[in-house]
Structure 1
Amino acid sequence: MAASRRLMKEHEEIRKCGMKNFCNIQVGLIVPYNPPYDKGAFRIEINFPAEYPFKPPKITFKTKIYHEKGQVCLPVISAENWKPATKSDQVIQPLIALVNDPQPEHPLRADLAEADSKKFCKNAEEFTKKYGEK
């Protein structure tokens, strides 16, 4: 409950400062219980375009991540699916799901795709230990 109040207060303060101060947010994303990414935390950056909320935010991992997707391509933030009424939790939840459920059989980065999912998970875990935020 305290976290919700804090976020609401910070959102109100950002809103009072004007939209230009709200365009670039760095967020810590921690995936604490699902391997292979549970050995570290990942900083992400959410960039809100000047046309927000009519155009979707862009999400970038600032911490290196071993993920076959290579970039954040969530259907909810694609230009064809974006709706101005979309809330931030509707963007964050699919992002967490993407990191928690890597799918090597549908890669965007063929160099990281591996037929052996156990090998992929082992490599991703080692990469997370090395590069993940402590």
Structure 2
Amino acid sequence: MLNPTDGCHVEFVEDDITHWHCIILGPSNSPYEGGHFKLDILFPDNYPYVPPHVQFTTQIYHCNITSGGHICLDILSNNWSPILTADKVLLSIMSLLADPNPDDPMEIVVANMYKRDREQHDRVAREWTTLYAMP
């Protein structure tokens, strides 16, 4: 068990240091507050030269995260750098929860709602948090 950053809990899967299960706490003052969001993290053989594969296994209503858990985050793809650490990746994901980027969405309907009716968006996101992410 390791805890690389505040708001995260990480465990190795079957003592495999290249496969982690992580729980990220929903950020305060966000519609995800109080939620415990599970992630699956796989570090490839050529890490740190390529990014880890990170995927949400908890359903989340977020414009930058697909219903299948895939994350639209530049440091997990074209802006990856070997100097980035797992800690930085987790911090970036927590930041994405606190501050979505509706201008680069993976879920267009969610992004449109975020832009057009933020109150409704936050209400739905809180409902999903209650349904899927409460401990």
TM-score, reference length from structure 1: 0.77
Higher helix share: 1
Higher relative contact order (CA 8 A, sep 6+): 1
Of stretches 43-52 and 98-107 in structure 1, the one that deviates more from structure 2 is 98-107
TM-score for the superposition, normalised by structure 2: 0.76
Partner of 1:77: 76
CA-atom RMSD in angstroms: 2.4
Mind listing any 5+ residue stretches in structure 2 that lack a counterpart? 5-9
Q: What is the distance in 2 between the residues matched to 1:24 and 1:133?
A: 24
Q: Summarize deviations over 1:37-75 as a string: whole Å, max 9, x none.
A: 003110111111111111110110011101111231222
Q: Is the 8 A contact 1:39 1:125 kept in 2?
A: no
Does the Cα contact within 8 Å between 2:25 and 2:34 map onto a contact in 1? no
Mark the runs of 5 or more structure 1 residues left unpaired by the alignment.
5-9
Query: Between Structure 1 and Structure 2, how many residues are aligned?
Result: 119
Report percent identity of matched pairs.
31
Q: 1-side partners of 2:19 and 2:100: how far apart?
A: 27
**Aligned-partner Cα distance in 1 for 2:101–2:48:** 30
Is the CA contact (8 Å cut-off) linking 2:72 and 2:106 kept in structure 1? no
Paired amino acid for 2:25:
I
Q: Deviations over 1:87-118 (max 9, x none)?
A: 12211111101011124454321232311111
Displacement of 1:81: 2.1
Matched with 1:100 is 98
Which structure would you say has the larger Rg? 1
